[in-house]
């Protein structure tokens, strides 16, 4: 059975469905490998104006970080890294969406650790599906590489042989399913 997939979002609010979405990251560890993790608690929406212009907002509960290791997660939540007591959330607010071949670039302001910087995410729109009886759903994939030091996460743990225990570049990958609100 083939399901028709529309290519355009209709006007209105599309709420991020956290059950069918993920926010993942990876960062170099000991120069030779990567640590991967995710944020388990987040929310957001894509609001499409009548003229078709989209805007995106999102909020991440930073203390929901999960790397599969409780000791490492506790260290990430501490003042050395995220300092979740002082900075419990990260936020994103789009400023523009622009075409990039068959895909898009989503520009916006990202706030992490109390620091706001402009970022540009590579965005793939996967289309719209009628859903399974709860309304239309839209799918997106996005990614960005950030330098953690740009956001005031400056811990340095150099290795004797060169490099650092934790790399500066963090790749964030989002798999988003959004549900059209009635």
Residue 1 lies in a domain: no
Q: Is residue 4 part of a domain?
A: no
Model pLDDT for residues 42-65, shown as the tens digit of each residue: 999 999 988 888 999 999 999 999
The CATH number of whichever domain residue 22 belongs to comes to 2.40.128.110
Q: Tell which wins on pLDDT, 171 or 92.
A: 92
Answer with the residue of higher pLDDT: 79 or 133.
Answer: 79
Contacts of 168 (CB under 8 A, 6+ apart): 147, 148, 149
Q: 106-110, 116-120, 159-163, 174-178: lowest mean pLDDT where? A: 159-163
Query: From the CB of residue 158, how many other CB atoms can be counted at a distance below 10 Å?
Result: 9
Q: State the DSSP H helix or E strand holding residue 39, giving kind and residue range, or none if neither.
A: strand 33-39
Asked if residue 55 belongs to a domain, the reply is yes
Residue 6, pLDDT score: 37
Number of structural domains in the chain: 1
What's the whole-number average pLDDT of the chain? 87
Q: What is the pLDDT of residues 95-106, one digit of tens each?
A: 999 999 989 999
Longest dimension (CA), the chain: 59
The answer to whether residue 5 is domain-embedded is no
144 vs 182, residue with greater confidence: 144
Domain range for residue 88?
12-180
């Amino acid at each position: 059975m083939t399901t028709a997939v529309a290519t355009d979002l209709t006007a209105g609010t599309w709420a991020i469905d956290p059950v069918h979405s993920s926010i993942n990251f990876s960062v170099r560890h000991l120069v030779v490998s990567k640590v991967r993790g995710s944020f388990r608690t987040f929310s957001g929406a894509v609001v499409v104006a009548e003229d078709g212009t989209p805007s995106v907002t999102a909020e991440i509960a930073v203390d929901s970080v999960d790397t599969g290791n409780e000791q490492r997660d506790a260290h990430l939540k501490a003042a050395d890294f995220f300092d979740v007591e002082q900075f419990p959330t990260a936020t994103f607010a789009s400023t523009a969406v622009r075409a990039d071949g068959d895909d898009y670039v989503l520009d916006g302001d990202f706030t992490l650790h109390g620091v706001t910087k402009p970022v540009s995410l590579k965005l793939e729109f996967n289309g719209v599906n009628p859903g399974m009886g709860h309304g239309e759903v839209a799918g997106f994939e996005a990614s960005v590489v950030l330098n953690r030091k740009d956001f005031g996460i400056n811990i340095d743990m150099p290795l004797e042989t060169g490099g650092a225990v934790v790399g500066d570049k963090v790749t964030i990958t989002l798999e988003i399913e959004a549900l059209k609100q009635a």
